[in-house]
Amino acid sequence: MCARFGLELTGEQLALYFALPGPVPEMDPRPDVRPTTQVAVVLDEGEGRRLELQRWWLVPSWWRKDPKELPSLFNARAEGIAEKPSFRSAFKSRRCLIPASGFFEWAKTPAGKQKFAIRRADRQPLAFAGLWEEWRPAEAEPLRSCTIITTTPNRVMEPIHSRMPVILGEAEWAPWLEAGTASELLLSLLQPCPDHWIEATPVSSAQRLLTWDD
């Protein structure tokens, strides 16, 4: 599961990191990103990578009711993702990267829940594997939305939670974003990241920032 993360970078910084050639939307650093809010998404619709803002809670293109009636689609389990009705179309042709400075998770302990901040060990941004959709209601503007794909935990996350977001390395960005990548290759990318990529730091329940002095 991934229900809270932070993105403490500007659009210009993301453009540099992901080598985005075009203009980027204006956006301020956000230490506490929650489902249904707008998040930065890197996608490629055939004309090169670009950055846009989307709603974090997927609304499938075929949905005909109020989005408030949807189940929790801010995460998509990697297992069976190519066959699940809510995700199979997006998995085939609408994949994206969702940047983050890090994410938060809570572990159950005898003393109660302990909050952890998870970041890359080298402090570079994370790139979550995501899916996006465009929903076109009859009497409203089209809505673009996204979901973060989760997988089983690596050894860093295992003591904290049974799920973690899929974190892709730079060499995996292109095959994930590009059209025509074989399904077998895409599915092979949906694995826990190497243990040494990330570290988990216990923080107070009020801690929101991911950029503090070590």
The residues carrying an active-site annotation are 2, 105
The strand pair at 143-151 and 75-77 is best described as parallel
**CA-based max dimension of the chain:** 52
Measure the CA–CA gap between 17 and 51, rounded to whole angstroms.
Answer: 12
- Residue type for 180, please? G
Sheet containing 112-120, strands listed edge to edge, beginning at the edge strand earlier in sequence:
30-33, 5-7, 102-109, 112-120, 198-203
| Structure token pair of residue 39 | 């998040």
Query: Distance between CA 130 and CA 201 in Å, rounded?
Result: 25
Residue with tokens 């050639």: 21
Residue with tokens 């890197």: 42
